[in-house]
Structure 1
Amino acid sequence: MEVPGVRSVTIGRVLSATLLAVVLTVLAAGCGSDSSDELNGITRVPPAKTENVALPDESPESKGKTVALKGEDGGLMLVYFGYTSCPDVCPTSMADLRLALADLDPEQRERVQVSMVTVDPKRDSGKVLNGYLGHFFNQGEYHSLRTEQPGKLARAEKAFGASHELGKPDAEGEYDVSHTAQIYAVDDRGVVQVEWPFQTDPELISQDLKNLLENNSNPDA
């Protein structure tokens, strides 16, 4: 759906960025080994770390409270950088993630949080972001992360190796929005255990989640 004032990056550009990430990861893997070799997604060597990254959460439960970008004890946080006006890549990624999470049992599902960080806070108010995520997940299952401070957003992206760019507005005020389209799985130590490129099969994501949860510490321990 075309949204006035916004044009999304093309899928081709997203796939080009994803291919680069895969190539870099393969090269890094040749220099060492990792216990997550059996995972379907991309594992970096060394892994990205986000333990010192936090952003305001606009979800109804948090109401602006700052949330660390890492899983709760024994759990995982799935982090995605995107924007609600995205016509293709973002809704596809969220729909795939919803399917992957539906394959978890109730105990596993309770240990997984979903966090979307908007890269277009000018248009994505907290209300807009909550409404968008509410189409894919139940209330209480997601964090709507939003900051109007470019420096905070840039630091969060840097920790994950992500990026975005807002194009120059044209005469009608429309502009391109390009962004990294990975989904990142962060454990309770703030370590990115795996990331999934755009259009990864939801079944493969689900397999990775089950694997990580099984090998992570017991949330009640």
Structure 2
Amino acid sequence: MLCIEGETLVPGSLAALPRLVTLARSETQALEMAGAIVCSAMTDDQGEPMFVEHPDAIAELRELVDQRLQTRPADYIWGFRTLLAIEGQFHWSATFGDFSDDFYEVACPHCSLDVTIAIGGYGCYSAYRDWDAGDVDRRDLRPASVAELDGMGRWMYNLAVRDGQDQLAAGITYLMGRAECPRCASVFHIAGEYAAANLPPLLSVRLARSKIG
């Protein structure tokens, strides 16, 4: 076993990636294994060298996963999360769901309250979570309009729309929208606060280096 998605890579994972990608052209299991390695990469010390040493394999893996997504497979969200990892969006890759029942925790940037963000069948709202009373003082989320989407948010939305994933596309507009804090009533950008608090350590270092350069 070279890797279990979301867990530490084992010795040999990095070196095996190009061979797995070659096999992935015709073998689904190899594609899934290669994807698991990439999804685990930035939580492990081996992660950063993999992107530097095997750019061709990473590029081909991206193409193979994208081709699979266009067939609209039953495990669509697996491929979507794998593409997010390949694009360096490891914080989203680790937590992204299909918005049937998604919850995110963010700290209000103004009063530091831990705010629960719900997007799915239970509603689209921000709230304070009380483990006895449930989600208290719910406030409706303010989804981003399609025109407001940019950067990675627009990329994710366009991918979901292209592949007919309407629920996923709608959820992305809420995730890239704004929430109201149930304590101080301030309004903040959901994705920005979540991403700032959840970048993997290696990715944080990588971004810092790019800014210095």
Q: Which has the higher contact order (CA 8 A, sep 6+)?
A: 1
Name which one, 1 or 2, has greater alpha-carbon Rg. Answer: 2
User: Which structure dedicates a bigger proportion of its chain to helix?
Assistant: 2
TM > 0.5 between the two?
Answer: no
TM-score range normalised by the length of the shorter chain: under 0.3
When normalised by structure 1's length, the TM-score is 0.27
